[in-house]
Amino acid sequence: MYYIPAKKKNGRLLKEMYEILGETVGDRATEIIVNKIMTLYGGLQVYIPLERTAFENVIAEEIYHRYTEENVPIREMCRDYFICFTKVYKLWRKGRKIKLHKEMKK
């Protein structure tokens, strides 16, 4: 959970936002984006999920493909995705389920 300030020009969250966005889109665009976020969402708490949570289905399909098609060991995927063996296996099962569901739709 992040608290989006309405008009504050400093603080830990704003510093993080400037650093992350600045690397991606540049300083001028970062200022425009941060001001727009503060205008629209200032005063609210916002939940921003981790990438692996937000894109769990995509990652599950990728793990399923890497394991079944490319024979990548599960231990290697644990290191690649920074998750434990059990989570890789659960995502593999989820990826298999998604693939089977897609095949049934055809």
User: In this predicted model, what pLDDT tens digit does every residue of 34-93 receive, in sequence order?
Assistant: 888 888 888 888 887 777 677 899 999 999 999 999 999 999 999 998 899 999 999 999
CA 75 to chain CA centroid, nearest Å: 21
- What is this structure's pTM? 0.57
CA–CA gap between residue 4 and residue 93 (Å, rounded): 37
Q: CB neighbours of 62 closer than 8 A, spacing ≥ 6? A: 95
Work out the pLDDT band at 13, boundaries 50, 70, 90. Answer: confident
Residue with tokens 């739709």: 105
CA distance 35 to 81: 33
